[in-house]
């Protein structure tokens, strides 16, 4: 494998990254508040499980419907402006919803409409954010920048928001949504004040349409060995993740008989492992390289899944989940960074949208498979099923790690050696 860029610098907080990080962490905190509060509000409005589930499902559906479109639009527009505009609109929408809840006008259709609309806007925001980051940090600091962003979001959304939601709900059902609106509006202000350099974009051919541009992005993804491998690996591992997440509570409470306390400890172990992975990712990448770090992470997660599904011990499960979270962060940081580094200029939004769309599509499929095998063969079998998909995911990455990684330049019909954009 050719020498590849690793994390040799840290992102400077000035120059835009500090504001982008603060905006991302604020939004992550607010999103976690809303995500936790929506189903809790739903169960006070209906006793129909299908309607409660519909609120969550409609929060995922837009990625399947509009994910690729959001990536194409992100490549066309000023990404900074798109991000702050979307956050401002989402802030106003959630503020209006908070008022409706406070006045007693909340309803299941309103919850479904809010979840669907916010995620539709998110398809543009997330793809624009992925494309914007390389313009505010030095190329050598890109991996560390991704690690700090993901770690900050995990702390804000995974550790801080959870204990805050019950406190806010005690004070009023509308407060989590009001707080979410404030975080959106503050994030919009932070992003609006960024000073960025416009990315290099080739002029669009006459008559170019969004459909053609989406097709160009997909062709680039298929032709590039690294991007193709990363996309296939993402799809496969997210099927496994869906199977694990959907049945983890059953694994802990029924197979291990560890109860709700055991489940809480298991989730905490995963969160702590993720934070540790973000902290040391740069050292791992510096020693083995970025692609090999992804392979290492997938292999370690595969082993952790085998332990979860075969060792009937709560201690073993907690340790395995800590490893799983640790290596999951290494996987996420490096796959995101590789996508940013190897996507041709002006096409990052479309390439990243394909990854996210496949990730969202894989999770519900995995959840259904996990539920089916748990019902047929026992609560521990979904973890073993997930291990199979992680093995396939690692296998999909091996060809990219064995040889030079080409970067396809749109329209020229040739490839160039790997390098920073």
Buried b (16+ CB within 10 A) or exposed e, 129-141: bbbbbbbbbbeeb
Tens digit of each residue's pLDDT (9 = 90 or more) over 279-331:
899 899 888 888 889 999 999 999 999 999 999 999 999 999 999 999 999 99
* Residue 271 within any structural domain of the chain: yes
Percentage with pLDDT > 90 across the chain: 28
* Residue 207 within any structural domain of the chain: no
Other C-beta atoms lying within 10 Å of the C-beta of residue 211: 11
Q: Is residue 132 domain-shared with residue 223, that is, in the same domain?
A: no
Decide which of 195, 221, 256 is a domain's last residue: 195
Number of domains within the chain: 2
C-alpha to C-alpha distance for 383 and 255, rounded to whole angstroms: 12
* Residue 267 within any structural domain of the chain: yes
Confidence at 203, pLDDT banded by 50, 70, 90: low
Q: Is residue 20 domain-shared with residue 79, that is, in the same domain?
A: yes
Higher per-residue confidence, 32 vs 391: 391
User: Any idea what the CATH number is for the domain that residue 29 is in?
Assistant: 1.20.1250.20
Report whether 19 contacts 194 (CB < 8 A): yes
| pTM of structure | 0.76
- With vertex at residue 33, the alpha carbon angle to CA 32 and CA 38, rounded to the nearest 5 degrees, is 100
Note the residue count of the chain: 421
Higher per-residue confidence, 158 vs 105: 105
Q: Is residue 251 domain-shared with residue 350, that is, in the same domain?
A: yes
Mean pLDDT across 398-416: 47
- With vertex at residue 71, the alpha carbon angle to CA 65 and CA 75, rounded to the nearest 5 degrees, is 150
* Residue 381 within any structural domain of the chain: yes
Tens digit of each residue's pLDDT (9 = 90 or more) over 1-10:
344 555 556 6
Domain hosting residue 328, numbered range:
213-402
Rounded to 10 deg, the angle between the 314-342 and 142-154 helix axes is: 140
Mean pLDDT across 371-399: 91
- What's the distance, Cα to Cα, between the start and end of the chain in Å? 19
Q: Is residue 236 domain-shared with residue 103, that is, in the same domain?
A: no
Confidence at 401, pLDDT banded by 50, 70, 90: low
Report whether 350 contacts 68 (CB < 8 A): yes
Q: Is residue 240 domain-shared with residue 381, that is, in the same domain?
A: yes
* Residue 398 within any structural domain of the chain: yes
Q: Is residue 350 domain-shared with residue 267, that is, in the same domain?
A: yes
Q: Is residue 147 domain-shared with residue 63, that is, in the same domain?
A: yes
What pLDDT is recorded for position 392?
Answer: 95
* Residue 330 within any structural domain of the chain: yes
Q: Is residue 153 domain-shared with residue 233, that is, in the same domain?
A: no
* Residue 388 within any structural domain of the chain: yes
* Residue 292 within any structural domain of the chain: yes
What pLDDT is recorded for position 301?
Answer: 96
Q: Is residue 224 domain-shared with residue 112, that is, in the same domain?
A: no
The label of the residue with tokens 């609560």 reads 379
Q: Is residue 137 domain-shared with residue 242, that is, in the same domain?
A: no
Q: Is residue 106 domain-shared with residue 136, that is, in the same domain?
A: yes
The label of the residue with tokens 């690692």 reads 394
Q: Is residue 251 domain-shared with residue 167, that is, in the same domain?
A: no
Instruction: Kindly tell me the burial class for residue 321, based on how many C-beta atoms sit within 10 Å of its own C-beta (0-12, 13-18, 19 or more).
Output: buried
- With vertex at residue 96, the alpha carbon angle to CA 95 and CA 97, rounded to the nearest 5 degrees, is 90
What is the pairing mode between strands 407-408 and 415-416?
Answer: antiparallel
Nearest-CA neighbor of 276 among 328, 336, 337? 328
What pLDDT is recorded for position 371?
Answer: 85
């Amino acid at each position: 494998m050719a020498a590849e860029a690793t994390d040799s610098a840290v992102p400077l907080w000035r120059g835009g990254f500090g504001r982008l990080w603060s905006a991302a962490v604020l939004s992550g905190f607010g999103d976690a508040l809303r995500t936790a509060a929506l189903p809790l509000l739903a169960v006070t409005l209906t006793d129909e499980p299908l309607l409660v589930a519909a609120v969550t499902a409609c929060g995922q559906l837009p990625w399947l419907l509009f994910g690729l479109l959001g990536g194409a639009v992100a490549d066309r527009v000023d990404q900074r402006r798109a991000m702050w505009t979307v956050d401002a609109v989402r802030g106003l929408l959630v503020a209006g919803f908070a008022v409706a809840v406070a006045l007693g006008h909340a309803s299941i259709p309103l919850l479904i409409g809010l979840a669907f609309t916010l995620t539709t806007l998110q398809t543009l925001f997330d793809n624009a954010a992925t494309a914007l980051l390389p313009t505010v940090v030095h190329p050598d600091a890109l991996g560390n920048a991704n690690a700090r962003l993901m770690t900050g979001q995990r702390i804000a959304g995974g550790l801080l928001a959870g204990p805050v939601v019950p406190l806010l709900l005690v004070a009023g059902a509308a407060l989590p949504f009001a707080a979410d609106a404030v975080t959106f509006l503050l994030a919009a202000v932070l992003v609006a004040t960024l000073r960025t350099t416009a990315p290099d974009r080739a002029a669009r051919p006459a008559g170019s349409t969004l459909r053609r541009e989406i097709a160009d992005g997909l062709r680039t993804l298929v032709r590039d060995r690294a991007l193709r491998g990363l996309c296939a690996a993402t799809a496969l591992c997210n099927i496994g993740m869906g199977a694990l997440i959907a049945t983890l509570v059953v694994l802990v409470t029924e197979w291990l008989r560890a109860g709700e306390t055991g489940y809480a400890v298991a989730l905490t172990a995963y969160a702590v492992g993720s934070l540790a992975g973000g902290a040391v990712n740069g050292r791992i990448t510096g020693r083995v390289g970025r692609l090999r770090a992804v392979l290492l992470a997938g292999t370690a997660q595969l082993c952790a899944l085998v332990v979860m599904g075969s060792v009937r011990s709560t201690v073993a499960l907690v340790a395995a989940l800590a490893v799983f979270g640790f290596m999951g962060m290494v996987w996420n940081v490096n796959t995101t960074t590789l996508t940013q580094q190897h996507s041709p200029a002006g096409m990052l939004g479309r390439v990243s949208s394909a990854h996210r769309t496949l990730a969202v599509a894989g999770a519900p499929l995995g959840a259904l498979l996990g539920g089916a095998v748990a019902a047929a063969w026992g609560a521990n079998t979904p973890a073993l099923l997930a291990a199979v998909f992680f093995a396939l995911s690692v296998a999909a990455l091996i060809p990219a790690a064995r040889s030079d990684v080409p970067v396809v330049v749109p329209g020229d019909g040739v490839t160039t050696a790997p390098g920073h954009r």
